[in-house]
Structure 1
């Protein structure tokens, strides 16, 4: 805390003695009042410019006297103002939508050449408007499905919202919704994501060069910002699809004090079940719903409060014999405070939780299985702008997490016993500092350091085990005593060097630590996958990632090309012992193995960002491996998510003023899988024998999706509607979702493989509206 206070006092002192004039303020949409993230504020005729931060705030240093300032944002009219500076000036700006630009489908949300000039690599930024014409399953705009079309990002499987980044695991991705952690980002077992597109304003995705303000995961960060709400007038928009509908309302608060937004979505597949004559089916459940809400309150020109929340739930059930529900809840309170024209503060109080419940009625009686994970988080972030070539970011946060593993509650008369698994608690204290620095025109650097102290907390009974999993020691702790500290320093650095006005080379190094671990044995994350915290036996996962890349733009920045290579080594990776007992196990840690991982690859990305035809092509050539002493005789083996080739082609074409066509083609190498190497019989029961881990492959996966959108807008883009028609898997490819083995019915001595395909061709139609 002493170091942190010294940094704060130094920053405030520097702000007070700075000699240059400062222009600061907020950039907004003139129609809705929504803040614009990444808008560029620059001094005309110079390279002097800065982007707005995630709250639309900017701070630009200029010389005394008259200066011409340019405010620009893709899809909006550029605003040019001449300002006479005799001192620091606060100037809020509202940009108007450029109606002529709406005739094109733009897939860039920043300065046209920012991909060349910024030292940030391995990152993507986009808004919902930019992905609205990408075909997806059931016609729903989906952030997670779009992320899976980027280089270095792999899908968890057919219809799955789970994804893997540069060879990492599905639990190694940090997903934030208005700064709150989202533990399970899927509905209906992965066919939908938890993010209602109507409620989302902006998405920033990092797979390399991860900034120091983010921590807790070792593969990627997906930072999602919800819309603030229309500050000018009451508005509504939504959509009606084949199996889901959604509605969003937003509007201003009285006396121009801010805005509100509330958005809901629900599927109604369960309503069709009611039409069945079978009582088991018409009494079954199959639906999800979610609710997003945000309140944006302006206290004065320097202070703003933001309240946001999310609640979502899935409910699956078969008659009165089986019930399964799960859901996420988040709540965030943020205080934006402009301390000076160069120092911006954000204070956040955050709550997040995920839980699931399984209820079973059978011959053995009634019993329930329940699990929960949650956290309370306090964050303080500062941004300091001493000059246009230098930005400092620093802060701290305290995150307390509680994991309640799956426990079994047997009802009276059941033939199974109740099993209560103890909660586990942890406290994560971290602080960071980062410097975005441009020492000269051709060189830009972002470097920083994050310090993490994870504390294993009581109460509870903790065990130590030998190599065979037998208990060596058992000790009970009471209260919130600190049982162990895990200290980690996480240096981060990214740099870019301009070769010329059209190309640059970049490099980065990241070290990251992770203290929350998801235990899963499939590539598709399930709600019932268990979480564990770092403990006396489980160490934090660590990753060191090195990246280097070449970036070039063509044809007046209309085409972007990049090639990035990376190498990532991972320590303290977790897997299961063969035959592990995972459910309701009071000594689950005895079933775990600890090892290391490595992944490396090449990523190619070509994007056309303007014109009637635009889109991108991404290709990844990669390898991901793991090594555990207790698996494969200690030799390296393929990770489940290892794929040699991964290709995505996305194209959108403005056919006419009202029609837009979209298509994407996907090809990737099949997932690594373990097939049986033999079989044996015990008591007339045939069992399979497995040899090398993940030495086999699913068949290659490929699919074509197409869509067509007809859109009619009213005057000034204030109201309108659209129809979207789509075909998922247009040529009806029967991709393998599961491959299993069985004895042949004709000859029991022969074992045959059989494939289960989840989807064939799926048509969709969605009507969207706004007014």
Structure 2
């Protein structure tokens, strides 16, 4: 066999052409650009996260076609008589008179790509979607996709195919962001001015991702313009932003700095109310990046994010929380087939709660810190096989809470033992083009987690009774879990415009968020897998049908999925928590299941475009001791979710947009009776989550007016109207005795937002 193969290989000598694809004006590498040989219809490659591509074909004369959405296509004659390197510069086609909401360079990627449940968002797409206060928001936009749910106003958490909000891996230049929200969820931490690429994986993660059960939101920052200096910014009613970028050494290195800050605190100082005059209410973001290209094979990237929220009332209380991340990446091209990305990553999420009240002043500090090392390889073995493999490791440190107080305070100081853990993984996957119609993406990830000392570690029985405890020395191994995570996706093309896909994915999770609120709080508690807490495990199977219409102008997809979830965590009924002490004694463990249908119809090009998304789904949990051990609806379970997004290019200067969302109300627990004892009313609650909030629906409108074109300066105005018909959506519902008739019960609904207008002035120089 080897002799025969060697003979064939000699008779049909193959050569490889490789290189990078960049924006001609800025030098930014273009992710997902398509490269193909015109004479070989089924040949093709796409650029990776660093703009690198590799394409292998038999020797001969060809026309190499390079394309990327929004850029003029380039056709380059090539002669493959030996391996070659070709770097390509694409020109942004500013003459296009229509809007594109397509985030793909390849118009048929949704048909060709075996990966299921993946969405890539183009930044122009995000910037045209109207959102609250006019602040363009990545997370608010992905919540408009089928299979992705929000829990309403005041919340940037999102729920993917039945998973909890902490089961989403959120990455910013490979660093984990643990709390991706500002001002308790009104804004996300991601400033769109600093972002180059957004990818959401909801139907199954590629093998290089791990540590979460449900999805991956992978966000990459801009590298910076290595051609010219550029200033971009915006001034809005509630926040302003500014970005500066430019070359350090032309065509070799660049920097990018982007900052954003709200100024609600400025208006509070002008308030006639003396109580609010000393209040603090603001957040800020700072994104920074630097890259240096040593030569054609070696590039260094340094990036960081720093964000903080400050909320408080003078001489009363204060709450601060924030994220800091730093990433050092080094990419090396060994040859035209092998690519390496090495990364050192730091992530820190911390919060501080302060009380300044006399006799009860105190401070509560907590944090979660990660130190990570990653080695990721891509090997372009042939025109049929692309291998990805690598290793990574993370050192976790979690401080659940440290309470300090003055000597005169009535609050007793407490320190909860800090926990440490090491998480490691190795993976390999192969994208194998079996035939022109059949494509298989398969691989496995092997994850390992160890909980480390020092400290006292307790083991509880199923009834929360302390069985025993053990003292471990510094770095002593308390508990180790190992889990294989197989993953595969299969795509079969019925024709050039139609394909069917199937997938299976297993994911595990060892960092867990314990919360009793759907809206999220900066003080929500993170815990590691331990003697009592086992790794969360999810198994998901999915089947999909994908169809393009009218020369790829329209896209339709239908996916069904079933996900089973093991070792899910919740608080037991009547949990008693004192300063997060012995929290594991207050937890219950169970399982979950989620299944549903997702429909998606999208128009990519033209003056009028957008999409319609619909999700029909069910998410249920099962815990011993809750609802008699029967399955019950998860808090974020929504039977129906509908989103409509429309963008219309009215003229060269006016673009109109609108979104409409509708969702079944969240599952909640209402009182089903009450009794009076000693003049006090006590409510009797029925089964957990056996009731529903009212349905959520909202219409948002937006318009962008482009200023007159100048050689170096460009400006625009963005107008928005959030909740255009002023519908009062429920945020919370509480119950009380009816003041007019105490025998009756009154439900009191709180809504956060009515109709909110916004205007933002944007500029680029």
1:75 positional shift? 0.7
2:411 counterpart of 1:416: yes
1:62 positional shift? 2.3
1:194 positional shift? 0.1
Q: Deviations over 1:364-396 (max 9, x none)?
A: 421111110010000000000011221000000
Q: Secondary structure at the match of 1:296?
A: strand
Equivalences for residues 71-150 of structure 1 within 5 A:
71-101=66-96, 103-150=98-145
1:415 positional shift? 1.1
Unpaired runs of at least 5, structure 1: 1-14
Contact 1:517–1:533 (CA under 8 A) maintained in structure 2: yes
What's 1:768 paired with? Answer: 762
Contact 1:713–1:719 (CA under 8 A) maintained in structure 2: no
What's 2:615 paired with? Answer: 620
What's 1:24 paired with? Answer: 18
TM-score, structure 1 as length reference: 0.96
Q: Deviations over 1:235-260 (max 9, x none)?
A: 01010000000000000112532110
What's 1:324 paired with? Answer: 319
Q: Distance in 2 between matches of 1:456 and 1:603?
A: 38
2:398 counterpart of 1:398: no
Contact 2:38–2:65 (CA under 8 A) maintained in structure 1: yes
What's 2:636 paired with? Answer: 641
2:360 counterpart of 1:353: no
Q: Distance in 1 between matches of 2:749 and 2:394?
A: 44
What's 2:727 paired with? Answer: 733
What's 1:502 paired with? Answer: 497
Q: Secondary structure at the match of 2:758?
A: strand
Contact 1:284–1:319 (CA under 8 A) maintained in structure 2: yes
1:583 positional shift? 4.5
Q: Distance in 2 between matches of 1:484 and 1:346?
A: 31
Contact 2:58–2:80 (CA under 8 A) maintained in structure 1: yes
2:66 counterpart of 1:57: no
What's 2:5 paired with? Answer: none
Q: Distance in 1 between matches of 2:258 and 2:203?
A: 32
Equivalent of 1:758 in 752, 758, 763: 752
1:102 positional shift? 5.2
Q: Distance in 2 between matches of 1:690 and 1:370?
A: 34
Equivalences for residues 413-492 of structure 1 within 5 A:
413-492=408-487
2:610 counterpart of 1:605: no
Q: Secondary structure at the match of 1:37?
A: coil
Q: Secondary structure at the match of 1:101?
A: coil
| More displaced stretch, 598-607 vs 418-427 | 418-427
Q: Distance in 2 between matches of 1:749 and 1:363?
A: 40
What's 1:8 paired with? Answer: none
| More displaced stretch, 471-480 vs 304-313 | 471-480
Equivalent of 2:739 in 723, 739, 745: 745
Equivalences for residues 513-662 of structure 1 within 5 A:
513-662=508-657
Q: In the superposition, relative to structure 1, how do residues 360 and 682 fare at CA in structure 2: closer, same or farther (>3 Å)?
A: farther
1:715 positional shift? 5.3
Q: Secondary structure at the match of 2:242?
A: strand
What's 1:161 paired with? Answer: 156
Equivalent of 2:199 in 184, 195, 204: 204
Q: Distance in 2 between matches of 1:548 and 1:487?
A: 29
Equivalences for residues 176-325 of structure 1 within 5 A:
176-325=171-320
What's 1:680 paired with? Answer: 675
What's 1:706 paired with? Answer: 701
Q: Distance in 2 between matches of 1:557 and 1:249?
A: 37
Equivalent of 2:31 in 23, 37, 48: 37
Q: Deviations over 1:19-62 (max 9, x none)?
A: 52111111000000000000011111322110000000000112
| More displaced stretch, 359-368 vs 605-614 | 359-368
Q: Distance in 1 between matches of 2:100 and 2:375?
A: 38
1:277 positional shift? 2.6
1:713 positional shift? 5.7
User: What do you get for the CA RMSD once the two structures are aligned?
Assistant: 1.5
Q: Distance in 1 between matches of 2:335 and 2:357?
A: 65
Q: Deviations over 1:596-631 (max 9, x none)?
A: 000000000000000000000000000000000111
Q: Distance in 1 between matches of 2:548 and 2:252?
A: 43
Q: Distance in 2 between matches of 1:258 and 1:89?
A: 25
Q: Distance in 1 between matches of 2:468 and 2:422?
A: 24
Contact 2:545–2:558 (CA under 8 A) maintained in structure 1: yes
Contact 2:400–2:580 (CA under 8 A) maintained in structure 1: no
Q: Secondary structure at the match of 1:553?
A: strand
1:363 positional shift? 5.0
1:521 positional shift? 1.2
Unpaired runs of at least 5, structure 2: 1-8
What's 1:722 paired with? Answer: 716
Q: Distance in 1 between matches of 2:194 and 2:442?
A: 33
1:581 positional shift? 2.3
Q: Deviations over 1:301-359 (max 9, x none)?
A: 10000000000000001122110000000000000000111000000000001000000
Q: Distance in 2 between matches of 1:604 and 1:281?
A: 48
Q: Deviations over 1:80-137 (max 9, x none)?
A: 1112233111111110011232532333322111111111110100221222111100
Q: In the superposition, relative to structure 1, how do residues 659 and 746 fare at CA in structure 2: closer, same or farther (>3 Å)?
A: same
| More displaced stretch, 140-149 vs 128-137 | 128-137
What's 2:381 paired with? Answer: 386
Q: Distance in 2 between matches of 1:565 and 1:114?
A: 20
Contact 2:226–2:249 (CA under 8 A) maintained in structure 1: no
| More displaced stretch, 489-498 vs 155-164 | 155-164
Q: Deviations over 1:639-664 (max 9, x none)?
A: 00000000000000000010000000
Q: Distance in 1 between matches of 2:250 and 2:421?
A: 44
2:366 counterpart of 1:371: yes
Contact 2:227–2:246 (CA under 8 A) maintained in structure 1: yes
Q: Distance in 1 between matches of 2:242 and 2:93?
A: 26
Q: Distance in 2 between matches of 1:103 and 1:167?
A: 37
Q: Distance in 2 between matches of 1:525 and 1:173?
A: 14
Q: Secondary structure at the match of 1:183?
A: coil
1:73 positional shift? 0.6
Q: Distance in 1 between matches of 2:339 and 2:31?
A: 15
What's 2:337 paired with? Answer: 342
